[in-house]
Amino acid sequence: MFFRFILFPIFALYCTLPVLAFAQEQEKQSNSADASDILFSLEKADESQQPTSGTLFTASAQLGFLYLTGDTRSADIKTGLDLRFEKGLWRSYFLFDLLVKKTETESVINDNEIRKAFDTTDQKWSLNSQTNYTVDPINKNYIFGNFFYEENRFSSFDSQASVSTGWGRRWFENKVASFDADIGPGFKRDVTQVTSQEMKEGMRSRTQDTLILQAQALYIRKMNDNIEFKQLLVIKHAMEVGQNSIYKAESSITSRLIGSLQLKLSFIIDYNSKVDDDNENLNTETSAVLIYTF
Protein backbone atom coordinates (compact mmCIF):
# COMPACT_ATOMS: atom_id res chain seq x y z
CA MET A 1 0.00 0.00 0.00
CA PHE A 2 2.89 2.38 0.78
CA PHE A 3 4.39 1.95 -2.73
CA ARG A 4 0.94 2.35 -4.27
CA PHE A 5 0.73 5.85 -2.74
CA ILE A 6 4.18 6.73 -4.14
CA LEU A 7 3.50 5.51 -7.68
CA PHE A 8 0.09 7.17 -8.03
CA PRO A 9 1.30 10.78 -8.61
CA ILE A 10 3.83 9.65 -11.23
CA PHE A 11 1.23 7.45 -12.94
CA ALA A 12 -1.29 10.30 -12.99
CA LEU A 13 1.21 12.62 -14.63
CA TYR A 14 2.17 10.18 -17.35
CA CYS A 15 -1.48 9.43 -18.09
CA THR A 16 -2.21 13.15 -18.49
CA LEU A 17 0.78 14.11 -20.63
CA PRO A 18 -0.31 12.38 -23.89
CA VAL A 19 -3.68 14.17 -23.75
CA LEU A 20 -2.00 17.55 -23.27
CA ALA A 21 0.51 16.89 -26.04
CA PHE A 22 -2.30 15.93 -28.45
CA ALA A 23 -4.25 19.11 -27.59
CA GLN A 24 -1.19 21.29 -28.14
CA GLU A 25 -0.49 19.64 -31.52
CA GLN A 26 -4.08 20.20 -32.66
CA GLU A 27 -3.81 23.85 -31.70
CA LYS A 28 -0.61 24.25 -33.72
CA GLN A 29 -2.24 22.68 -36.80
CA SER A 30 -5.37 24.86 -36.56
CA ASN A 31 -3.50 28.19 -36.23
CA SER A 32 -1.21 29.63 -38.90
CA ALA A 33 1.26 32.46 -38.28
CA ASP A 34 2.94 34.82 -40.68
CA ALA A 35 6.37 36.42 -40.27
CA SER A 36 5.05 39.44 -38.34
CA ASP A 37 3.29 37.18 -35.80
CA ILE A 38 6.49 35.22 -35.23
CA LEU A 39 8.57 38.39 -34.73
CA PHE A 40 5.95 39.76 -32.32
CA SER A 41 6.03 36.53 -30.27
CA LEU A 42 9.82 36.63 -30.12
CA GLU A 43 9.74 40.19 -28.81
CA LYS A 44 7.26 39.24 -26.08
CA ALA A 45 9.06 36.10 -24.98
CA ASP A 46 11.43 36.68 -22.11
CA GLU A 47 14.41 34.35 -22.01
CA SER A 48 14.25 34.26 -18.22
CA GLN A 49 10.83 32.60 -18.50
CA GLN A 50 12.06 29.70 -20.61
CA PRO A 51 12.85 26.36 -18.95
CA THR A 52 16.50 25.52 -18.64
CA SER A 53 17.77 22.73 -20.85
CA GLY A 54 20.29 21.46 -18.32
CA THR A 55 19.88 19.39 -15.19
CA LEU A 56 19.82 20.93 -11.73
CA PHE A 57 20.08 18.82 -8.57
CA THR A 58 20.35 20.21 -5.04
CA ALA A 59 20.39 18.49 -1.67
CA SER A 60 20.45 19.77 1.89
CA ALA A 61 20.36 18.19 5.34
CA GLN A 62 19.19 19.86 8.56
CA LEU A 63 19.88 19.10 12.21
CA GLY A 64 18.69 20.65 15.46
CA PHE A 65 19.41 19.36 18.98
CA LEU A 66 18.41 20.49 22.48
CA TYR A 67 19.45 18.89 25.79
CA LEU A 68 18.23 20.17 29.17
CA THR A 69 19.50 19.28 32.66
CA GLY A 70 18.58 20.46 36.16
CA ASP A 71 14.99 20.41 37.38
CA THR A 72 13.93 19.03 33.99
CA ARG A 73 16.00 16.63 31.93
CA SER A 74 15.05 16.18 28.30
CA ALA A 75 16.55 15.72 24.86
CA ASP A 76 15.09 16.87 21.55
CA ILE A 77 16.33 16.17 18.05
CA LYS A 78 14.98 17.44 14.73
CA THR A 79 16.50 16.37 11.44
CA GLY A 80 15.51 16.27 7.80
CA LEU A 81 16.52 15.92 4.18
CA ASP A 82 15.56 18.09 1.19
CA LEU A 83 16.19 16.84 -2.37
CA ARG A 84 15.26 18.88 -5.47
CA PHE A 85 15.63 17.99 -9.15
CA GLU A 86 14.96 20.06 -12.27
CA LYS A 87 15.43 19.08 -15.91
CA GLY A 88 13.76 20.80 -18.82
CA LEU A 89 10.01 20.94 -18.17
CA TRP A 90 10.21 18.68 -15.10
CA ARG A 91 10.59 19.80 -11.49
CA SER A 92 10.54 17.46 -8.47
CA TYR A 93 11.22 17.62 -4.75
CA PHE A 94 11.43 15.11 -1.89
CA LEU A 95 11.25 16.17 1.78
CA PHE A 96 11.87 14.05 4.88
CA ASP A 97 11.44 15.30 8.46
CA LEU A 98 11.98 13.60 11.82
CA LEU A 99 11.26 14.89 15.33
CA VAL A 100 12.03 12.93 18.51
CA LYS A 101 11.76 14.09 22.13
CA LYS A 102 12.73 12.18 25.28
CA THR A 103 11.93 13.38 28.79
CA GLU A 104 13.04 11.99 32.14
CA THR A 105 10.16 10.42 34.08
CA GLU A 106 9.92 8.93 37.56
CA SER A 107 8.14 5.73 38.54
CA VAL A 108 7.85 4.04 41.94
CA ILE A 109 9.09 0.44 41.91
CA ASN A 110 8.95 -0.32 45.63
CA ASP A 111 7.76 1.74 48.56
CA ASN A 112 11.14 3.43 48.98
CA GLU A 113 12.62 3.09 45.50
CA ILE A 114 12.07 5.55 42.67
CA ARG A 115 13.15 4.65 39.16
CA LYS A 116 14.17 7.38 36.70
CA ALA A 117 14.29 6.81 32.95
CA PHE A 118 14.14 8.69 29.67
CA ASP A 119 10.84 7.99 27.92
CA THR A 120 9.83 9.10 24.45
CA THR A 121 7.23 11.86 24.79
CA ASP A 122 7.07 12.96 21.16
CA GLN A 123 7.94 11.19 17.93
CA LYS A 124 6.93 12.18 14.42
CA TRP A 125 8.27 11.64 10.91
CA SER A 126 6.91 12.55 7.50
CA LEU A 127 7.56 12.25 3.76
CA ASN A 128 6.37 14.77 1.19
CA SER A 129 7.08 14.51 -2.53
CA GLN A 130 5.79 16.35 -5.60
CA THR A 131 6.55 16.31 -9.33
CA ASN A 132 5.54 19.16 -11.65
CA TYR A 133 5.44 19.13 -15.46
CA THR A 134 5.35 22.55 -17.15
CA VAL A 135 2.75 22.58 -19.93
CA ASP A 136 3.00 26.32 -20.69
CA PRO A 137 6.55 27.69 -20.22
CA ILE A 138 5.55 31.29 -20.99
CA ASN A 139 2.71 31.53 -18.44
CA LYS A 140 4.37 29.00 -16.08
CA ASN A 141 1.35 26.65 -15.95
CA TYR A 142 2.03 23.10 -14.74
CA ILE A 143 0.35 19.86 -13.75
CA PHE A 144 1.45 18.06 -10.61
CA GLY A 145 1.35 14.80 -8.71
CA ASN A 146 1.76 14.91 -4.92
CA PHE A 147 2.35 12.24 -2.26
CA PHE A 148 2.31 12.72 1.54
CA TYR A 149 2.81 10.28 4.42
CA GLU A 150 3.17 10.91 8.17
CA GLU A 151 3.39 8.89 11.37
CA ASN A 152 2.83 10.73 14.65
CA ARG A 153 3.11 8.49 17.68
CA PHE A 154 1.37 10.87 20.09
CA SER A 155 -1.50 12.06 17.91
CA SER A 156 -4.93 10.59 17.18
CA PHE A 157 -3.54 8.82 14.11
CA ASP A 158 -1.16 5.94 13.60
CA SER A 159 -0.54 7.30 10.11
CA GLN A 160 -1.91 9.80 7.59
CA ALA A 161 -1.35 9.56 3.84
CA SER A 162 -2.64 11.32 0.74
CA VAL A 163 -2.13 11.42 -3.02
CA SER A 164 -3.37 14.17 -5.32
CA THR A 165 -2.96 15.55 -8.81
CA GLY A 166 -4.09 18.75 -10.48
CA TRP A 167 -3.11 22.07 -12.06
CA GLY A 168 -0.93 24.92 -10.82
CA ARG A 169 0.77 28.10 -11.90
CA ARG A 170 3.62 30.41 -10.97
CA TRP A 171 1.46 33.51 -10.63
CA PHE A 172 4.22 35.96 -9.84
CA GLU A 173 7.99 36.06 -10.23
CA ASN A 174 10.74 38.67 -10.24
CA LYS A 175 14.35 38.84 -9.10
CA VAL A 176 13.52 38.76 -5.38
CA ALA A 177 10.14 37.01 -5.00
CA SER A 178 7.87 34.31 -6.44
CA PHE A 179 4.38 32.97 -5.75
CA ASP A 180 3.18 29.48 -6.75
CA ALA A 181 -0.28 27.98 -6.17
CA ASP A 182 -1.92 24.73 -7.29
CA ILE A 183 -5.17 22.86 -6.72
CA GLY A 184 -6.59 19.45 -7.52
CA PRO A 185 -8.52 16.39 -6.32
CA GLY A 186 -6.99 13.59 -4.32
CA PHE A 187 -7.44 10.70 -1.91
CA LYS A 188 -6.60 10.61 1.81
CA ARG A 189 -6.28 7.71 4.25
CA ASP A 190 -6.19 8.19 8.04
CA VAL A 191 -5.36 5.23 10.28
CA THR A 192 -6.62 6.17 13.75
CA GLN A 193 -5.15 4.96 17.02
CA VAL A 194 -7.20 2.94 19.48
CA THR A 195 -7.66 3.88 23.11
CA SER A 196 -6.51 1.68 25.99
CA GLN A 197 -10.10 0.63 26.61
CA GLU A 198 -10.56 -0.33 22.94
CA MET A 199 -7.33 -2.36 23.09
CA LYS A 200 -8.68 -4.30 26.07
CA GLU A 201 -11.79 -5.04 24.04
CA GLY A 202 -9.63 -6.39 21.22
CA MET A 203 -10.29 -3.54 18.79
CA ARG A 204 -7.66 -2.60 16.22
CA SER A 205 -6.90 0.70 14.55
CA ARG A 206 -9.55 2.01 12.18
CA THR A 207 -9.00 3.14 8.60
CA GLN A 208 -10.84 6.17 7.24
CA ASP A 209 -10.70 6.79 3.48
CA THR A 210 -12.05 9.91 1.81
CA LEU A 211 -11.74 12.03 -1.31
CA ILE A 212 -10.13 15.44 -0.77
CA LEU A 213 -9.63 18.74 -2.52
CA GLN A 214 -6.02 19.81 -2.05
CA ALA A 215 -4.81 23.40 -2.44
CA GLN A 216 -1.28 24.69 -1.89
CA ALA A 217 0.36 28.11 -2.01
CA LEU A 218 4.05 29.00 -1.61
CA TYR A 219 5.49 32.51 -1.35
CA ILE A 220 9.27 33.01 -1.38
CA ARG A 221 11.07 36.32 -0.94
CA LYS A 222 14.78 37.05 -0.73
CA MET A 223 15.28 39.77 1.85
CA ASN A 224 18.89 40.15 0.72
CA ASP A 225 21.69 37.95 -0.60
CA ASN A 226 21.87 35.99 2.68
CA ILE A 227 18.31 35.90 4.07
CA GLU A 228 15.24 34.20 2.56
CA PHE A 229 11.62 34.13 3.78
CA LYS A 230 9.11 31.37 2.91
CA GLN A 231 5.39 31.06 3.60
CA LEU A 232 3.63 27.77 2.81
CA LEU A 233 -0.10 27.03 3.08
CA VAL A 234 -1.56 23.54 2.53
CA ILE A 235 -5.24 22.54 2.64
CA LYS A 236 -6.49 18.95 2.39
CA HIS A 237 -10.26 19.41 2.63
CA ALA A 238 -12.33 16.23 3.02
CA MET A 239 -15.20 16.03 0.53
CA GLU A 240 -17.34 13.84 2.83
CA VAL A 241 -19.10 15.36 5.81
CA GLY A 242 -17.71 14.18 9.14
CA GLN A 243 -14.29 13.19 7.79
CA ASN A 244 -11.02 14.73 8.96
CA SER A 245 -9.58 17.70 7.06
CA ILE A 246 -5.97 18.90 7.36
CA TYR A 247 -4.82 22.53 7.35
CA LYS A 248 -1.15 23.46 7.62
CA ALA A 249 0.84 26.71 7.58
CA GLU A 250 4.62 27.04 7.79
CA SER A 251 6.62 30.26 8.06
CA SER A 252 10.41 30.16 7.92
CA ILE A 253 13.44 32.44 7.65
CA THR A 254 16.73 31.01 6.41
CA SER A 255 19.99 32.91 6.91
CA ARG A 256 23.32 31.98 5.36
CA LEU A 257 26.11 31.73 7.94
CA ILE A 258 29.35 30.51 6.36
CA GLY A 259 29.64 28.97 2.92
CA SER A 260 27.08 26.14 2.62
CA LEU A 261 26.00 26.38 6.26
CA GLN A 262 22.65 28.06 7.01
CA LEU A 263 20.41 28.71 10.02
CA LYS A 264 16.66 28.13 9.64
CA LEU A 265 14.00 29.44 12.03
CA SER A 266 10.51 28.05 11.43
CA PHE A 267 7.03 28.11 12.92
CA ILE A 268 4.49 25.44 11.89
CA ILE A 269 0.74 25.34 12.54
CA ASP A 270 -0.92 21.94 12.03
CA TYR A 271 -4.71 21.59 12.37
CA ASN A 272 -6.86 18.44 12.12
CA SER A 273 -10.59 19.06 12.12
CA LYS A 274 -11.53 15.74 13.72
CA VAL A 275 -9.46 14.16 16.52
CA ASP A 276 -10.06 12.15 19.69
CA ASP A 277 -11.49 13.97 22.70
CA ASP A 278 -8.18 13.78 24.61
CA ASN A 279 -6.16 15.27 21.73
CA GLU A 280 -5.89 18.86 20.53
CA ASN A 281 -7.05 19.92 17.07
CA LEU A 282 -4.29 22.52 16.81
CA ASN A 283 -0.59 21.73 17.19
CA THR A 284 2.32 24.13 16.73
CA GLU A 285 6.05 23.62 16.31
CA THR A 286 8.83 26.20 16.67
CA SER A 287 12.33 25.14 15.69
CA ALA A 288 15.84 26.40 14.94
CA VAL A 289 18.04 24.08 12.88
CA LEU A 290 21.33 24.19 11.01
CA ILE A 291 21.19 23.36 7.31
CA TYR A 292 24.09 22.15 5.19
CA THR A 293 23.68 22.30 1.40
CA PHE A 294 25.71 20.01 -0.83
Residue 40, pLDDT score = 38
- On the question of pLDDT at 33 being above 50, the answer is no
Report the candidate in 126, 133, 168 with the shortest Cα–Cα distance to residue 147: 126
The CATH class, in words, for 2-26+55-293 is: mainly beta
Question: 18-29 pLDDT, tens per residue?
Answer: 444 444 444 444
Measured CA to CA, the distance from residue 59 to residue 80 in angstroms comes to: 11
Instruction: Answer yes or no: are the C-beta atoms of 74 and 102 closer than 8 Å.
Output: yes
Question: 43-84 pLDDT, tens per residue?
Answer: 344 444 444 456 899 999 999 988 877 767 788 999 999 999
pLDDT band at residue 16 using 50, 70 and 90 as cut-offs:
very low
Measured CA to CA, the distance from residue 242 to residue 209 in angstroms comes to: 12
Residue 71, pLDDT score = 67
Residue 121, pLDDT score = 82
Instruction: Answer yes or no: are the C-beta atoms of 229 and 246 closer than 8 Å.
Output: no
Measured CA to CA, the distance from residue 35 to residue 27 in angstroms comes to: 18
Question: 145-157 pLDDT, tens per residue?
Answer: 999 999 998 888 9
pLDDT band at residue 9 using 50, 70 and 90 as cut-offs:
very low
